[in-house]
Structure 1
């Protein structure tokens, strides 16, 4: 990846619901809780995203989340991207961009940077998230 790995977490899908029935696909909302590291601090994360299938094996998604640390750091983020999977199965792979905002000292570095996200879900609803600070071309 063209950037520095700044975070990684593992978690579980804790909720799913249908938000809307569109002409060609349902709009599905999913909530996830995970634990891991963000900028070398232990972190807990909760995120909610909605997705719409664009073809039988691709989808578009937008979401938001909050990450907190035991040290009192907090960062909020929004993001969007695209993924692959199969309708009716939790197994997916998603890639996108996140924009963070934080007013706490150790995570203020997240303000104003582009963060690439890779998010995967296995058949049991277990999640794995990896975050990179986009550094651009060398």
Structure 2
């Protein structure tokens, strides 16, 4: 069951690389920079993820990132998800995130499985929301 909303982000894709096309399954690496909130605090987020185009046209992705507060706290995360191309040329992602931090204001995230909705527009603009999964 979905619990409380943990945060939101908006940002931009900063780079895309093709890593492989072996066997007709394109593998790309995407980097993103975003700003938003996490547990009510203003944050900046940097992330890189790899996605594999599967035979059915969906994407499987895995990534990691670092989230930083204005006060200098850092939260790292790992995630995985499934993406589907949408009608406007972008990709809609759904998946899970797992956090790790020693920062006192965010330490409760260490025990949280979080789920996300993440949209990448054709222009490279990204938006996302993360909820606690209870």
Instruction: Sort the TM-score into its range (normalised by shorter chain).
Output: over 0.9
Matched-pair contact (CA < 8 Å) for 1:90–1:125 = no
SS in 1 for 2:24: coil
* Partner residue, 2:128: 129
SS in 2 for 1:109: helix
Q: Following TM superposition, where does structure 1 have runs of at least 4 consecutive aligned residues deviating by more than 3 angstroms? A: none
SS in 1 for 2:54: strand
5+ residue gaps, structure 2: none
Count of aligned pairs between the two proteins: 133
Query: In structure 2, do the counterparts of structure 1 residues 6 and 17 end up closer, same or farther at CA, with 3 Å as the change threshold?
Result: same
TM-score, structure 2 as length reference: 0.93
Verify: 1:93 aligned to 2:92, yes or no: yes
State the alpha-carbon separation in 2 of the partners of residues 62 and 43 from structure 1.
22
> 126-135 or 53-62: which moved more?
53-62
Superposition deviation, residue 46 in structure 1: 0.4
SS in 1 for 2:107: helix
Matched-pair contact (CA < 8 Å) for 2:2–2:133 = yes
State the alpha-carbon separation in 2 of the partners of residues 97 and 58 from structure 1.
17
RMSD: 1.5
Q: Deviations over 1:49-80 (max 9, x none)?
A: 00011135311000000000011111001011
Superposition deviation, residue 119 in structure 1: 0.8
Matched-pair contact (CA < 8 Å) for 2:116–2:129 = yes
Verify: 1:82 aligned to 2:102, yes or no: no
State the alpha-carbon separation in 2 of the partners of residues 90 and 31 from structure 1.
18
Matched-pair contact (CA < 8 Å) for 2:25–2:55 = no
* Partner residue, 1:35: 35
TM-score, structure 1 as length reference: 0.91
